[in-house]
A and B are shown apart, each in its own frame.
Chain A
């Protein structure tokens, strides 16, 4: 099938390896990947700050670009939730209301797409490390994605998986991290401590934005623990 890959703004600018891995994986599975150059962002930053007009200014052209897409795949639970869950809300009572619902129903978070839509868990990847998984809250609670990433990691050769004892938000929260840095940092420290306690070498997640926050704290602490996007793990040979 033709997969329209939605690359979130921060993956484009800061974590291109995650996006590249998704392209390579999808192509290896025999799908045609397209990636509209005109879409830069889903509009979540203004949306979450309450500036819904500005969010619509960004989201409306993105929606138009996705109008004819058969399947949209997005490598972030957070931006995935924006499209799947919040676009219908944002465009309620506007001429794009129907389109927003249609696009939402055709949009998949990357790991969920592989497991639930394609029925694939074994990608033949090898990653001989001990890893733990961080569930981004939007992917987990807005989209209900919990088992898919674990099913995928379960099939990675040499990978040893260990859960964190405590399930908690990493404290990123978009602009929250800058508006309330002290709270964001404290939450991040709790997360880092839980991950460190597992003895893992890597924290894997399907959300680069959470990982950016967690890695930022780990690097400052001088920790050896590293973060990596799920797609990159699945693309290791």
Chain B
């Protein structure tokens, strides 16, 4: 099945699923309430967005310099920095480290870049045990599912479903209270932390000035992932760079606010190197893998370069009416929602993924929500333009060419209206059947009755 047919068929299924709609809506409406409260705590949320957009602009437009500075600082404290042009290279680098370390088991904290390169799958195929330590990720891993949302991986599940899952997979779930469920997961995970050979993390921000990687989390699992195993591997996209340490003063609360409606995420840890002489904890080795995977192509694209500003907060998904109705899995991509619809065509091929840019009303809710002011919905429009220009759909183009001829000639336009009026009774005879040319509309909606006298008729008759 092509990606577009798969999208449409999953979308049909999910939009009919009223239970899904209400689970997501309830979750996101409570998010909206706390987010608005946190936004109001900023002196000016709009100025904060502007400042963040400018900082990211600076970071991305001097990415080369910042990456060199970051690497130099990281290496100076003994971190090994690796560069991966694509997913295959990143997987190979990581495998090589695991082989060198004779590792068998890996504990992971949340990293969307690892989803992007399908790391778990590849490592499991090579015989490694991989355990996700973020609770939401742990849950979807037990279900053999991809994360539903870039920030809330298991938001599509109710507590009851998670209880049943734990009962089935772990044989333990005293109740469906979040506390009980967390305790079950914690018991399983604590064991894994102690036996894991390698801890694997993502990164939220990389500070060029100080050579630090900042990891944001609510559960403390990333800290344990980083601190307990002897070897730590961090995988992050090259766009995560911020110029200065002080920039975190804006970006940490902003990420927390836009992402989850929190004043600050519970744990924000800055990693600057492996265990140094005289230190009593931390990994003996730290490998940082910087991933390109077509990000530099976006960097070369002046029109959409700002999509590299993304801090993966998920705010655009949360407000998106398409996301809310079709759900995260329908996209079939690592990054879903508006940001996914914008960047996936660049990361994975325009013609294969242009349907994501088409599946939008261009309502602009995403652009309004984005804390770093990415012009998301206009980028959808540009993707449509690029797709239609490079490979126009024959009948669609023909239809618009015909429409242009009709619209430009008053006599044709007037005739088209008359034909429309005359064929109305015929249309209503076949309404909703296979013969109905307007079936896509009439299956769920009535067509507006067309009056005999159009506005222009009225205007003419009146004079």
Contacts and interface: CB of A to CB of B under 8 A. Distances in A.
Contact of A57 (B387, B404, B454): B404
Interface in A179-203: 179-188, 190
Contact of B448 (A40, A52, A58, A215): A215
Interface in B399-454: 400-401, 403-404, 406-408, 410, 413, 417, 420, 440-441, 443-448, 450-451, 453-454
A13 B364 CA distance: 28
B455 A40 contact: no
A146 B29 CA distance: 22
A37 to B, nearest CB: 5
A212 B446 CA distance: 9
A169 B413 contact: no
A38 B410 contact: yes
Pick from A35, A46, A174, A212 the residue with the most CB of B within 10 Å.
A46
A16 B460 CA distance: 13
B333 interface: no
B260 to A, nearest CB: 20
Given A20-B455, A187-B321, A182 B15 contact: yes
A40 to B, nearest CB: 4
Contacts of A180: 8, 11, 358-359
Interface string B4-36: 000010011001100001000100010000000
Interface stretch (A4-12, A101-109, A155-163): A4-12
B360 interface: yes
A165 B415 CA distance: 43
B363 interface: yes
Interface residues of A, number: 62
A172 interface: yes
A164 B254 CA distance: 29
Contact of B388 (A12, A49, A57, A173): A49
A52 B446 CA distance: 30
A98 to B, nearest CB: 22
Interface stretch (A117-125, A126-134, A216-224): A216-224
Interface of A, secondary structure class, is helix
Interface of B, secondary structure class, is helix
A37 B410 contact: yes
Given A16-B455, A37-B410, A137 B417 contact: no
Contact of B441 (A48, A57, A58, A177): A177
Contacts of A213: 445
A71 interface: no
Given A9-B407, A35-B459, A185 B444 contact: yes
Contacts of A187: 321-322, 325, 361
B213 interface: no
B325 A176 contact: no
A140 B364 CA distance: 9
A215 B445 CA distance: 8
B301 to A, nearest CB: 16
Given A20-B455, A137-B363, A178-B440, A49 B396 contact: yes
A223 B420 CA distance: 26
A46 B404 contact: yes
Pick from A35, A178, A180 the residue with the most CB of B within 10 Å.
A180
A50 B385 contact: yes
A7 B365 CA distance: 27
B408 A61 contact: yes
Given A37-B410, A180-B359, A181-B440, A54 B445 contact: no
Nearest to B383: A50
A109 B383 CA distance: 27
Contact of A13 (B21, B385, B392, B417): B417
Contact of A169 (B12, B29, B361, B454): B361
B325 A13 contact: no
Contacts of A173: 360-363
Nearest to B432: A220
A40 B406 CA distance: 9
Contacts of B407: 9, 40-41, 43, 58
A219 B445 CA distance: 7
Nearest to B378: A89
List the 9 closest pairs (A to B, CB-CB), nearest first.
A173-B361, A216-B445, A50-B384, A50-B388, A141-B364, A137-B363, A169-B363, A16-B455, A186-B15
Given A37-B456, A51-B400, A186-B325, 11 more contacts: A12-B454, A19-B458, A35-B459, A43-B407, A137-B363, A168-B321, A171-B361, A178-B440, A179-B440, A188-B445, A219-B445
